[in-house]
Amino acid sequence: MAELKEAPEKGFHEMKSDSRVARRSLFVKKDFQKRFIFKTLGLIFLLCVLFMALYLGSLLMMDSKSGAGNRLVEIVFKYSLAILRTRLGFILGIVAGVLFLFSLFLSHQIAGPIFRIETELERLSSGDLERPVRLREGDEFQEIADGINTLSDDFRELIRNSEALAEVVLERKCSQDSASYDELREKASRVREITGRYRIGSSEEHSS
């Protein structure tokens, strides 16, 4: 029986090397991670602005309702404004730095498995069905990897049965040996069982 088609050695090593480099780099999928970080920082910045507006607004309302003025509220309000004027840049810098690192780490937790799955799909599409898709323990998208492995297992079995059928037909044993005919019918039944799980549509649908 013929062996499964192997991917070109160079392409396999290149993909393996790319995967190792990606693991060492925080920026695995730069475009995705940049968009993720920008949106996260933007959302948190808007929340901070909203919080400060509500905080200062509540102080103003308390001051206006106190009639002659609440000395404590006035002191707190002036102190808050002084902090905003003198330390706003410093505070925002620290907050932005912490949020950037957090967003970078979180985006890497998402982008890393995506990059790995894309690399494995490239390997599968090149014809290498010998190895399953493996993600690191704790990575996201384990269910997707399991689904790809199930599909790959079906393809492997389909290829093996198809090759066995081709060998039996080419050797023309069907008309001479009933045992070979039973084997052929069994493998054909298994091929039909596997292919029956998938919908491929008609040729007209694919051409349109």
pLDDT digits (tens, 9 = 90+) for 92-125: 778 778 888 887 777 777 888 888 888 888 887 7
Alpha-carbon distance of 164 to 159, in angstroms, equals 9
Look up the pTM and report it. Answer: 0.47
Per-residue tokens: 31: 């475009």
pLDDT digits (tens, 9 = 90+) for 20-61: 444 456 666 677 777 878 888 788 778 877 877 776 676 666
Alpha-carbon distance of 134 to 120, in angstroms, equals 9
Alpha-carbon distance of 84 to 144, in angstroms, equals 47
